[in-house]
Amino acid sequence: MDLELTEILDEHQRVTDEATLVRDFLLKVLEDNQSDIPKFGEEALAQAALIIEQVGPGAFYWMTDIAAQMVVLSEATLRGFSTNVSVELGAQATAQSIVETVVRLP
């Protein structure tokens, strides 16, 4: 039973670590965009490749899912609907706070 608990805790930590990698990369891309750093730079692509190598195709899927959630949030806002993000963050929301709200870590 102790071995099973250890495996569950180890798996939870692995998922949290991988989710943190993806979230931090998204925040870095956002910061780069705000700082007018050229897109698809060697450093960013190397970091993305490392994440995909470590996390696997799930990283690509997760990033795409987050982008889809952001589009749905934008659409709702444009149509005048409130969302859990707009209610939680209000008018002082920043791009970073939106990412951190959408990408809740386990």
Secondary structure (H, E, C), the chain: CHHHHHHHHHHHHHHHHHHHHHHHHHHHHHHHHHCCCCCCCHHHHHHHHHHHHHHCHHHHHHHHHHHHHHHHHHHHHHCCCCCHHHHHHHHHCCHHHHHHHHCCCC
Distance CA 93, CA 23 (A): 17
pLDDT in tens, the chain (106 residues): 787 878 877 788 888 888 888 889 999 999 999 999 988 899 999 999 999 999 898 888 888 888 888 888 889 888 988 888 888 888 888 888 888 888 876 6
Q: What global pTM score does this model have?
A: 0.77
